[in-house]
Amino acid sequence: MPNVLIADDSIAVRKVAERLLSEAGFGVTLAANGEEALAYLAKETPDLVVSDVIMPDKSGYEVCAFVRARSGLANTPVLLISGIVNDEVTKQAESCHADGVLKKPFQGTALKDRVIELLAKRQGAAAPKATNMEKAVKSVELFQRSRGSDEQADPYRQPVPRLSPLEGEPRAQPERSTVGDKASARVQELESLLKIERDRTAEALNQASAADTLSRRIWELEAALQKEREGAVHQAARLVELQANVNRIPELEASLYNERQASMQMAQQMTEMEGELARSQELSQVLAAEQERNKDLSARLSDAQRVSEKAQEFETLFQAERDRNSLLTRRVFEAEQASGLATKRFEEVAAKLGEIAGWAAQLGNGKRQP
């Protein structure tokens, strides 16, 4: 059973991907971030890696670069997933040699189909290459024997396009060769012969334009045949999958319905969370304004307290002045009363003095008359 590593910092995405691939018959290992994915890849060798592009620590590009840098994982397919797929994301995925980018949330069986397609391509690429090497050797020998005429050069031109991809094969995977050091020596000899025969082929191709056209046509047909083979492998795997799941259609429909409901709930929750976030930001702004206002009110309150204390002092002084005024008022009233009494006494004394003066005058007049 193929094992797939899924690295994503979203638990919802991990659970959805795990369910889709587990139902398709794959073994699934989950990693909550890039660091966990790299720790797992340092010890284990999964058949395929699915990684989110943006994660808190290590990005999906870094995970893909780590896979490509390790000899035991270099041929492992890496599928990147991202909520936004644009030219920039595609360009960076190509730069780290990822096998593709898939947009999330996943639509239908898109994730499962891509995983099956990449695993099928990997199996096709892992086929033995000894047959191609033998064909290249025979082609070189055939050209050496039949180099005399254009008609005899035609059999050689058929395998010429096949030789170009063979140049790097003995170098890229020397440890997989079944003939060891002899194969390496043979490869070097073939490379030398290939260079010589390329020069001869260039001369022969200049003299045979019709053969050139035929060679290009063969190359196109071989490429088309390779695509057809890949398509056939994919279709065969798809057919096996469809046959295995034909009795599970009601269950899959129910699962799909549940997934849609879950997606709708998640979308609603995300909308609510966005609203709450906006509300929290608004409240933060209001809180900041209130804090500024509280600072102003605190300053004003301090001023008011100082004014209140000053007012209390003034009230105390005012009360003291009021008491003093009351005392002075009583004293003035008492003085006025005393003054009134004194005036009355003075008037009485003046009256008595007048009377005495009258009496005195009468007495004086009486003394003069005799």
Q: What is the pLDDT of residues 268-305, one digit of tens each?
A: 888 888 888 888 888 888 988 888 888 888 888 888 88
DSSP conformational letter for 162 = H
Look at residue 129 in the predicted model and tell me its pLDDT. Answer: 45
| Strand partners of residue 48 | 4
User: Does residue 150 carry a pLDDT above 50?
Assistant: no
Question: Per-residue pLDDT averaged across 176-202, rounded?
Answer: 67
Three-class DSSP category at 82: strand
Residue predicted with more confidence, 79 or 213:
79
Look at residue 132 in the predicted model and tell me its pLDDT. Answer: 47
On whether the CB atoms of residues 60 and 18 are closer than 8 A, the answer is no
Residue predicted with more confidence, 73 or 186:
73
H or E stretch covering 27: strand 27-31
Q: CA dist 143 to 27, 118, 154, 188, Å?
A: 50, 38, 9, 19
DSSP conformational letter for 246 = G
Look at residue 127 in the predicted model and tell me its pLDDT. Answer: 54
Q: CA dist 213 to 115, 217, 219, Å?
A: 38, 6, 10
Pairing mode of beta strands 48-52, 3-7: parallel
Q: What is the DSSP string of 305-322?
A: HHHHHHHHHHHHHHHHHH
Question: Per-residue pLDDT averaged across 193-215, rounded?
Answer: 65
Q: CA dist 195 to 145, 189, 283, Å?
A: 17, 10, 75
Q: How far apart are CA 178 and CA 114, in angstroms?
A: 33
On whether the CB atoms of residues 28 and 20 are closer than 8 A, the answer is no
Backbone φ and ψ for 28, nearest 5 degrees, come out as: -125, 130
Look at residue 223 in the predicted model and tell me its pLDDT. Answer: 63
What pLDDT, in 10s, does the model give residues 205-236? 666 555 555 555 665 676 677 667 666 666 76
On whether the CB atoms of residues 15 and 6 are closer than 8 A, the answer is no
What pLDDT, in 10s, does the model give residues 305-342? 888 888 888 888 888 888 888 888 888 888 888 888 88
Question: Per-residue pLDDT averaged across 160-188, rounded?
Answer: 50
- Min mean pLDDT across 59-73, 165-179, 180-194, 322-336 is at 165-179
Query: Which of 98-102, 148-152, 307-311 has the highest average model confidence (pLDDT)?
Result: 98-102
Question: Per-residue pLDDT averaged across 111-124, rounded?
Answer: 89
| Strand partners of residue 27 | 3
DSSP conformational letter for 84 = -
Q: With cut-offs at 50, 70 and 90, classify the pLDDT of residue 249.
A: confident
User: Does residue 160 carry a pLDDT above 60?
Assistant: no
Look at residue 218 in the predicted model and tell me its pLDDT. Answer: 67
Query: Which of 93-102, 183-192, 301-310, 333-342 has the highest average model confidence (pLDDT)?
Result: 93-102
Question: Per-residue pLDDT averaged across 242-255, rounded?
Answer: 75
Question: 116 CB contacts (<8 Å, ≥6 apart)?
Answer: 24, 234, 237, 238, 241
Mean pLDDT for the chain overall: 78
Q: If phi over 0 gives left and psi between -120 and 50 gives alpha, with beta otherwise, what is residue 25?
A: left
Q: How far apart are CA 38 and CA 315, in angstroms?
A: 80
**Three-state SS string across 174-223, please?**
HHHCCCHHHHHHHHHHHHHHHHHHHHHHHHHHHHCHHHHHHHHHHHHHHH
Query: How many other CB atoms sit within 10 Å of the CB of residue 109?
Result: 17
| Strand partners of residue 49 | 5, 78
Query: Which of 63-77, 150-164, 257-271 has the highest average model confidence (pLDDT)?
Result: 63-77
Q: How far apart are CA 202 and CA 204, in angstroms?
A: 5
Residue predicted with more confidence, 250 or 170:
250
H or E stretch covering 52: strand 48-52
| Strand partners of residue 81 | 52, 102
User: Does residue 101 carry a pLDDT above 90?
Assistant: yes
Give the pTM.
0.38
